[in-house]
């Protein structure tokens, strides 16, 4: 059905690509069934009639390879441009990035000191309180501090290299964990 429409639309049953690989040249297909349907834009899912044309098999194959190489080159070119953009920060971006790094460098020891003092007073603090109150304390001291940064600092302090552990939703000093384990062990029958 589509081949018949294309023959009618184009006024002939010739190969519409006519590359150097064309076996038809100026000749028409003896039977329209011998023609292949080519997608001009290379998108095989784009079946709009204005995107379709008749082609002989060699031309269609060559055109598909050409389209694929062109798309691949465009993709690589786009990626290279993106990489260049990402690699080059504007002065404003550098300043913003530098100020954020400075804030993190300033706030981390403040949070650690606050966490240490809080746990020394009550021997434990809930994770939720450590995040909320820690962020509030940093904001009070430096003007900057968010629950996300407090959460990140708490994650670092409760890592294998940190000084604290989280047990049952509470932050405890690491030796408190060992003491608790000894108490639990002593209580077991």
Q: Model pTM?
A: 0.45
pLDDT tens string 36-84: 788 887 777 888 888 888 887 777 777 777 666 666 666 666 666 666 6
pLDDT at residue 102 is higher than 70: yes
Q: Which pLDDT does position 58 carry in this prediction?
A: 77
Bridge-based pairing state of the strands 170-173 and 125-126: antiparallel
Domains detected in the chain: 2-85 (no CATH), 99-187 (1.10.10)
Q: Which pLDDT does position 179 carry in this prediction?
A: 59
Alpha-carbon dihedral sign for residues 18, 24, 30, 33: negative
Select the more confidently predicted residue: 110 or 176. 110
Q: Rounded distance, CA 150 to CA 173, Å? A: 17
3-state secondary structure of 146: coil
DSSP string, 52-99: EEEE-HHHHHHHHHHHHHHHHHHHHHHHHHHHHHHH---HHHHHHHHH
Q: Which pLDDT does position 152 carry in this prediction?
A: 92
- CA-wise closest residue to 154 among 172, 140, 168, 141: 172
Given a contact cutoff of 8 angstroms between Cβ atoms, the answer to whether 147 and 107 are in contact is: no
Select the more confidently predicted residue: 23 or 127. 127
Q: What is the DSSP letter of 136?
A: H
Cα distances (Å, whole numbers) of residue 184 to 115, 124, 180, 181: 25, 17, 6, 5
Cα distances (Å, whole numbers) of residue 173 to 3, 109, 116, 148: 78, 17, 8, 22
Q: Going along the chain, which residue ranges are E strands?
A: 36-39, 52-55, 125-126, 164-167, 170-173
| % of the chain exceeding 70 in pLDDT | 66
Please state the φ and ψ torsions of residue 147, each to the nearest 5 degrees.
-60, -35
pLDDT tens string 142-188: 999 999 999 999 999 998 888 898 888 999 888 755 555 665 566 56
């Amino acid at each position: 059905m589509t081949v018949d429409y294309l023959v009618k639309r184009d006024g002939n049953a010739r190969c519409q690509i006519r590359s150097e690989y064309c076996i038809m040249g100026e000749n028409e297909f003896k039977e329209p069934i011998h023609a292949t349907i080519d997608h001009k834009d290379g998108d095989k899912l784009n079946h709009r009639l204005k995107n379709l044309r008749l082609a002989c098999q060699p031309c269609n194959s060559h055109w598909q390879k050409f389209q694929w190489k062109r798309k691949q080159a465009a993709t690589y070119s786009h990626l290279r441009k993106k990489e260049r953009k990402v690699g080059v920060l504007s002065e404003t971006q550098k300043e913003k990035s530098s100020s954020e790094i400075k804030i993190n460098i300033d706030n981390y020891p403040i949070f650690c000191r606050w966490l240490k003092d809080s746990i020394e007073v009550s021997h434990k603090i809930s994770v939720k309180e450590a995040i909320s109150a820690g962020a509030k304390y940093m904001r009070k001291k430096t003007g900057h501090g968010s629950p996300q940064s407090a959460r990140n600092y708490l994650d670092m302090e409760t890592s294998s290299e940190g000084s604290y552990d989280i047990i049952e939703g509470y932050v405890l000093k690491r030796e408190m964990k060992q003491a608790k384990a000894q108490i639990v062990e002593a209580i077991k029958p």
